[in-house]
Amino acid sequence: MKTKKTIELPMDVLYFQVRPYAKCELAAMYFPASPNDAAAVANLRNLIKRNPELQEALRKASYRTYDKSFTAEQVRILVRYIGEP
């Protein structure tokens, strides 16, 4: 019987998956120290507002400030401009 070989990864290594996310879920990933989801979303919104190029790219991807979620395309744009959470 063959045994599967497992790969050990350090505990701090995470793999971010580009997929649709609820805005509060993704914001909490970018701002884990926020006291609540609303604060994390506000922090992410402020980060977006301070970057006109990011704002324009998201607008072209049909993003609106008060959407409750991000599409996979919008998540890709966020990662391109501000990196992985």
Per-residue pLDDT, averaged over 3-28, amounts to 74
3-state helix, strand, coil in the chain (%, to 5): 50, 5, 45
Q: How far apart are CA 78 and CA 3, in angstroms?
A: 40
C-beta of residue 71 within 8 angstroms of C-beta of residue 61:
yes
pTM of the model: 0.81
pLDDT at 3: 52
pLDDT at 16: 86
Residue-wise pLDDT tens digits, 17-42: 999 999 999 999 999 999 999 999 99
C-beta of residue 34 within 8 angstroms of C-beta of residue 43:
yes
Please state, for a pLDDT cut of 90, what percent of the chain lies above it: 79
